[in-house]
Amino acid sequence: MPASQRSLTTALIATSVRRAVARIEFSSQRRWRILDSRLIGQAMRCFNVPFISSAAVVVAVKCATAQTAVPLVDIKSVDPTMVIELRYAGANNLAGRALYPPGTPALVRPEVASRLVTAQAILRRYQYQLKIWDAYRPKSVQMQLWQAAHNNDYVADPQAGAGSLHSWGVAVDATLIDTWNRPVLMPTDFDDFTPAAMWHYRGADPAIRSHLHLLQIAMRDAGFYGLRAEWWHFVIVNWQKYLPPEELKRALQAFGMR
């Protein structure tokens, strides 16, 4: 996508986001309080709390680790063509049970959403598109995953560093499907923590290698990088700027980066 077109797309997204901002505050009773009722769209339930859904509505979620507001947007409100299948809303995952309530939207930071739009546009040139398996993940859900896995090669310890980058809205789990929403051959299924799920495919199937390479190239060109042990996991390249200083320091120490 030309730079001018990417800039226009980003500008349009930013404009729609600014027009529909809703602020939400986390209270001591672990409930959400809507601060600006004028911007209420269609209410729905998300993580057992009211979620406000309208065109590109941004919600400010307070992270339990640092009580820092994390602005999040529903991916579908930014790009309605994006296919969402949150695996933690069903039983087909590491925990073997639903960790999200029905109807949970896929939330990310607005900057992540705009980059996903870019990746989607790249893939559509080749008759493919994204399917999102996970996006923002509350720390409470991360704790349940850690208890199920207890292996920080695959699941981040929510008590170590800044926890999972999913909990800061800067990471997504994504796969590739065709333009008719049909799955295509990929190295493994979601939450397959085996050597077959590594970023560098070592199998012999040329179709799988081609699909994975296309996904990786599209996400790279949109501004994401991958994770060594999980081909489906992507983080925005400048994720550090979105964490509070103290949480960033803990994260870098946990990652061995400082």
- Annotated active-site residue 230? The verdict is yes
Q: Rounded CA gap, 234 and 131, in Å?
A: 13
Q: Rounded CA gap, 104 and 205, in Å?
A: 35
Q: Rounded CA gap, 137 and 171, in Å?
A: 9
CA-based nearest residue to 12, from 55, 52, 74: 55
Query: Which one is catalytic: 25, 111, 230, 247?
Result: 230
CA-based nearest residue to 163, from 146, 148, 186, 187: 146
Q: Rounded CA gap, 255 and 153, in Å?
A: 11
**Can you list the alpha helix ranges (DSSP code H) found in 150-244?**
206-222
Instruction: Extract the tokens encoding 38.
Output: 């004028």
Q: Return the axis-axis angle of helices 110-124 and 206-222, rounded to nearest 10°.
A: 130
Active-site positions read 230
